[in-house]
């Protein structure tokens, strides 16, 4: 069976205030063309279909057109919700849509119930594991701890139990939205850390033939059977070196996996340039970046006048200007942000405790309290943002109705 593994569409997202809807539409055109030209048997979307819980109407319309086109091609599509999606919204009408071959898996309770597709060699069971927020699904999976490894492990136990009850030789594919150990993150993924831990071991997924992962935006091979497709477009300058692609996977009769990368359209290349302003404006080696979306980091000792306007003369698509003056670490003017660079919220909080205590850092009990507080704030913040967006959407709908 041949399937196309993709994820993290983030429909409705912009790039430094540049709208990407046209680029996302071009990607979906490319996906449908690939399905047609490469004789694809199924399409897998491993979460984060939308960029937020209440997506803009234009993003919903784009999604609607995409699933209609896939249905018209007669190619089954299996989708799961990611941490950016509203699982309940994405799953509305799932039972009806399924009749057209679009299988939405957004309910954690359904982890052990596969989408069954067949080829000349028999059945392939596709198990959809939507993003599992540990604090919200702990009761469903009856885990002792509310952690990513625990809830994913419990979900996979249901998968393995269902698979064991099926005919011998049934092949299996799992879709999951998670941070798996060994993966390389970027700046554009939302933090899903719980209890100080974000990553789960790849061994959680043992026992299946292929794992189609979503969440991390770089295409990555953790093992021959465990892969991230990455996002089809760059959503931060940390993705400048990414090769945006999808995985075209052939699953043989014995479960062997062969995978090929299919490149995605690039609306405009990205470039990160760094140096003093005069150097950036004169260096001939930077000529290839003059038509790129640019993040320019200025290292001048003091901020130059009209820096953005001057950079934009040579690099008209500059979207981000960063000021990091070259100064010795002991210089009192050295950036506070630089001193915090690469440190987690937990580490910063522990450093603060040590500072106010004259060097005595928190003990293990206090570290646990801090971790719990950060976890609660993260979950509450995500819920608050979703509610705020829902309210804004409702107010917008009300104004439309009043007109």
Alpha-carbon gap, residue 363 to 349, rounded angstroms: 13
Alpha-carbon gap, residue 190 to 192, rounded angstroms: 6
And the tokens for 202? 């790849």
pLDDT digits (tens, 9 = 90+) for 229-242: 999 999 999 999 99
Element (H, E) at 319: strand 318-323
* Residue 380 CB-half CA count within 13 A: 6
* CA dist 381 → 128, 216, 333, 346, 394 (Å): 26, 21, 33, 17, 20
No. of H helices and E strands in the chain? 11, 19
Look at residues 153, 98, 86 and name the one whose alpha carbon lies nearest to residue 126.
98
Phi-psi region of 81 (alpha: psi -120 to 50; beta: other; left: phi over 0): beta
pLDDT digits (tens, 9 = 90+) for 289-333: 999 999 999 999 999 999 999 999 999 999 999 999 986 655 555
Element (H, E) at 270: strand 270-275
Burial class (CB in 10 A: 0-12, 13-18, 19+), 119: middle
Helix (H, G, I), strand (E, B) or coil at 14: strand
CB atoms within 10 A of CB 30: 16
Q: Please give the pLDDT value at position 362.
A: 84
Question: For the chain, what's the residue count?
Answer: 403
Q: Please give the pLDDT value at position 400.
A: 47
Q: Please give the pLDDT value at position 309.
A: 97
- Walking along the chain (403 residues) 10 residues at a time, the average pLDDT comes out as 98 96 98 98 98 96 97 97 96 94 97 97 97 94 91 97 97 97 92 81 97 97 97 97 98 98 98 97 97 97 95 98 79 56 74 73 81 71 54 51 51
CB atoms within 10 A of CB 279: 14
pTM for this predicted structure: 0.84
* CA dist 237 → 241, 242, 303 (Å): 9, 10, 22
């Amino acid at each position: 069976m041949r399937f196309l593994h993709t994820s993290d569409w983030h429909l409705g997202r912009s790039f430094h205030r540049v709208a990407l809807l046209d680029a996302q539409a071009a990607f979906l055109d490319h996906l449908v063309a690939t399905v047609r030209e490469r004789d694809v048997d199924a399409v897998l979307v491993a979460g984060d279909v939308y960029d937020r819980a209440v997506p803009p109407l234009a993003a919903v319309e784009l999604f609607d057109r995409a699933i209609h086109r896939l249905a018209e091609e007669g190619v089954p599509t299996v989708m799961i919700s990611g941490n950016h999606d509203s699982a309940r919204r994405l799953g509305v009408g799932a039972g009806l849509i399924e009749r057209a071959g679009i299988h939405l898996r957004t309910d954690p309770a359904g982890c052990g119930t596969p989408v069954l597709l067949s080829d000349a060699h028999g059945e392939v069971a596709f198990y959809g594991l939507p993003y599992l927020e540990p604090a919200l699904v702990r009761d469903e999976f009856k885990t002792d701890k509310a952690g990513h490894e625990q809830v994913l492990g419990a979900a996979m136990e249901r998968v393995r139990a269902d698979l064991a009850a099926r005919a011998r030789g049934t092949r299996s594919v799992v879709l999951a939205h998670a941070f798996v150990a060994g993966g390389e993150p970027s700046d554009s993924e939302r933090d899903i850390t719980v209890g100080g831990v974000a990553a789960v071991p790849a061994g959680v997924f043992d026992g299946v033939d292929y794992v189609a992962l979503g969440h991390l935006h770089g295409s990555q091979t953790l093992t021959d059977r465990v892969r991230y497709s990455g996002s089809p477009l760059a959503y931060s300058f940390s993705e400048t070196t990414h090769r945006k692609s999808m995985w075209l996977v052939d699953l043989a009769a014995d479960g062997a996996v062969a995978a090929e990368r299919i490149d995605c359209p690039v609306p405009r290349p990205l470039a990160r340039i760094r140096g003093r302003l005069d150097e950036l404006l004169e260096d001939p080696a930077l000529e290839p970046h003059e038509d790129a979306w640019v993040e320019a980091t200025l290292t001048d000792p003091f901020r130059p006048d009209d820096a953005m306007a001057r950079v934009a003369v040579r690099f008209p698509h500059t979207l981000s200007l960063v000021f990091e003056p070259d100064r010795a670490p002991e210089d009192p003017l050295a950036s506070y942000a630089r001193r915090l660079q690469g440190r987690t919220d937990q580490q910063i909080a522990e450093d603060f405790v040590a500072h106010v205590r004259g060097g005595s850092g928190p003990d293990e009990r206090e570290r646990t309290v801090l971790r719990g507080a950060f976890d609660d704030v993260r979950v509450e913040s995500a819920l608050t943002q979703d509610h705020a967006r829902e309210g804004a959407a409702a107010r917008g709908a009300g104004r439309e109705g009043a007109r």
